[in-house]
Structure 1
């Protein structure tokens, strides 16, 4: 009664003010009253503190959240994936597992043609259930800030569900480990704090894997993790220009892939095994980029429901509680046509081939192939001359025809970034 009287009083005062203003400026009185009342309603200032919280419109807020969750905010890489939401009965999707394709006869001369059975099966998939923990809003808070407090809680519940369902989605689209139908490519680039950077050659290697799987070129999608985006910005000028020109989550096309960026890609071990969803990323794991063929994936949204208890029903705490439940899933229809690029571990190393060499008495020059993860230093034993040419050492033994003793020497190669990593070459030369 008290709240209703306040509302009526304020509306009446606003209407009277509008009427007087309209008469003063020479416009119809009804128009002036309507404008002022309408403005006061839009601004919200005509409401008494806490009056809008007397009843929360659960159905309206649930509808708003459904619209928000279906539209999404940052996962544009989900756009175009077939949507099976209309098939989610009781939050379960039924897919048909197509058994295979019929055999093809070429230049057949045998009749009747054999009959082949194609066995299909039903696959029931339950949608993931996302629930937020209940949050409280006290009447004391509502008295001071009106309904915006409750609206803020609703928004934060929605965004929390969005973030988690998108993380789960990209995790589900990544392969568990390397296989013929789910290739995992390890990066081969330079060192970046213990991981190898991605290179364009690694993306080409993944393209080659998709080619061998005979995945159609249209609809191939690559979602780059933040590490790999930064790697490409440093080493690929063409990619840099494409990156700074994009206005959505999609960057550009690269080697047949539609390229997107996402900050919450799944974590893999450095040898290419996916970590469980929600598992803490430990040392020795890195985020990976994920690739998939759009038409072989599916997504579905199920029911969304708001749970709300009013403060009036909690006389001791005088607080309202709110939370949401939402059903959603993204999966491959079959475990095929998906892949990943994983940052491999960078291990400082150096080796040389061959490790020993015997020179003839009259000397000569021999070539040694050096494999090193970075620059290296070398020693030069007496009686031999060493020349470094990138990944090759040219070692020359002087003529020992006049020597009174056989010669021996050892060349030690030391890795610049880790002096504990060494390789040796043993040299021998007989006397005359």
Structure 2
């Protein structure tokens, strides 16, 4: 009897020590992320858990998984972009202007008239009325992931960290795809060029060549776009076209492990990204966001001037329900919400696209 009692006490002590270790580690991690001493974070993590009555073993997902810790970790990791999204990192962040997941711009009302050699008085009075232009950030939600008590009991790795990483990566990819879609022109227009490829046919479309890249440079020069911070995001089809046909590009093709840049050519910093939007090859028109591409559609390459683009991230929310409140399945449910947006600051003279032309008969 005594042995069972002491065994139970020993088990509780082990659980308590495990919980303290978990909360201390989580608190220290967040403290380092915000620039504080890890020791203070370790203490704060356990204090928060104790105040909420949340001390429990590691891996036991619950209201006491220190929601603030997981949210803080998500924000830090989300805003440290991976190599493949170096082009997105070149765009200026407007996070400081976000209020309640809305960003406010001032729409300039116009310029005053200028009179030359005027002899008529009194002068006319022209009001210059500026206006607030609020833009709501896009809302991105991940679908909930179940994490059962049975899983947490059996596994030997940090399931919550694994779930968080996969949700973060899925959010980041979707936001990047929405960003490059918003930057790309809808169709060819004045000072918003959509260039068709002119290379040899691959059986479906015409391949991209250096002549097309030079044409893009010519269009940017004509629009007066500064030579610095010109960004070209090539889709994989166009990268492969150039690797196959252009020896110079093949020699320069070298993914930079720091920012993902392939090279700099014809005044463009060139990146590769396979999440660029689809265009209809025959019309050169961009498909709507979320539209399913047909065989007559192909991914396009997108060029832009970083100085006239903006991005902003709003709030990050962590949601979960507890297994202890689920008598039927004994499972926790976890998902995240991220607010964010990326758009051109002006519609013209700052962006373009290269679209594969369809094979001609």
TM-score range (shorter-chain normalised) is 0.7 to 0.9
Name which structure has the greater RCO, CA cutoff 8 Å, separation 6+. Answer: 2
Q: Does 1:289 align with 2:298?
A: no
Deviation at 1:296, TM superposition (A): 0.8
Secondary structure at 1:223's aligned position in 2?
strand
CA distance in 2, matches of 1:302, 1:204: 38
Match of 1:229 in 2: 239
Q: Does 1:212 align with 2:219?
A: no
Which runs of 5 or more structure 2 residues have no equivalent in the other structure? Answer: 1-7, 19-55
Secondary structure at 1:86's aligned position in 2?
helix
Which residue among 31, 41, 53 is the counterpart of 2:60? 53
Which residue among 113, 131, 136 is the counterpart of 1:121? 131
Which runs of 5 or more structure 1 residues have no equivalent in the other structure? Answer: 11-48, 349-432
CA distance in 2, matches of 1:174, 1:195: 20
Q: For structure 1, which segment, 54-63 or 175-184, has the greater mean C-alpha deviation from structure 2 after superposition?
A: 54-63
Q: For structure 1, which segment, 307-316 or 321-330, has the greater mean C-alpha deviation from structure 2 after superposition?
A: 307-316
Match of 1:268 in 2: 279
Deviation at 1:57, TM superposition (A): 2.0
Q: Does 1:130 align with 2:117?
A: no
Q: Quote the RMSD (CA, aligned, Å).
A: 2.5
Q: Does 1:75 align with 2:82?
A: no
Distance of aligned partners of 1:316 and 1:339 in 2 relative to their CA distance in 1, 3 Å threshold = same
Match of 2:14 in 1: 6
Match of 2:357 in 1: 344
Q: Does 1:184 align with 2:194?
A: yes
Structure in which a larger fraction of residues adopt helix:
2
Deviation at 1:291, TM superposition (A): 0.8
Q: Is the 8 A contact 1:302 1:328 kept in 2?
A: yes
Which residue among 192, 206, 216 is the counterpart of 1:196? 206
Which residue among 259, 272, 277 is the counterpart of 2:289? 277
Deviation at 1:201, TM superposition (A): 1.2
CA distance in 2, matches of 1:233, 1:120: 50
Secondary structure at 2:175's aligned position in 1?
helix
Q: For structure 1, which segment, 197-206 or 142-151, has the greater mean C-alpha deviation from structure 2 after superposition?
A: 142-151
Q: Does 1:249 align with 2:260?
A: yes
Distance of aligned partners of 1:8 and 1:141 in 2 relative to their CA distance in 1, 3 Å threshold = closer
CA distance in 2, matches of 1:206, 1:116: 41
Q: Is the 8 A contact 2:59 2:159 kept in 1?
A: no
Q: Is the 8 A contact 2:217 2:267 kept in 1?
A: yes
Deviation at 1:323, TM superposition (A): 0.5
CA distance in 2, matches of 1:153, 1:187: 42
The superposition leaves residues 42-71 of structure 1 with CA deviations (integer Å, 9 ceiling, x where unpaired) of: xxxxxxx96441642221111111111111
Q: Is the 8 A contact 2:15 2:57 kept in 1?
A: no
Q: Is the 8 A contact 2:182 2:342 kept in 1?
A: yes
CA distance in 1, matches of 2:284, 2:199: 16
TM-score normalised by structure 2 residue count: 0.79
Deviation at 1:308, TM superposition (A): 1.2
The superposition leaves residues 205-234 of structure 1 with CA deviations (integer Å, 9 ceiling, x where unpaired) of: 222222222222222111111111111112
TM-score normalised by structure 1 residue count: 0.67
Distance of aligned partners of 1:8 and 1:100 in 2 relative to their CA distance in 1, 3 Å threshold = closer
Match of 2:341 in 1: 329
CA distance in 1, matches of 2:113, 2:194: 30
Structure in which a larger fraction of residues adopt strand:
1
CA distance in 2, matches of 1:72, 1:6: 39
The superposition leaves residues 174-220 of structure 1 with CA deviations (integer Å, 9 ceiling, x where unpaired) of: 00011112110011110012100111111222222222222222221
CA distance in 2, matches of 1:261, 1:137: 35
CA distance in 1, matches of 2:177, 2:60: 34
Deviation at 1:6, TM superposition (A): 2.5
Q: Is the 8 A contact 1:232 1:240 kept in 2?
A: yes
Deviation at 1:320, TM superposition (A): 0.7
CA distance in 2, matches of 1:245, 1:8: 48
The superposition leaves residues 213-270 of structure 1 with CA deviations (integer Å, 9 ceiling, x where unpaired) of: 2222222111111111111112222211111364341122221112111111110001
Q: Is the 8 A contact 1:52 1:146 kept in 2?
A: no
The superposition leaves residues 302-359 of structure 1 with CA deviations (integer Å, 9 ceiling, x where unpaired) of: 00010011111112211111011110110011212111000010113xxxxxxxxxxx
Match of 1:313 in 2: 325
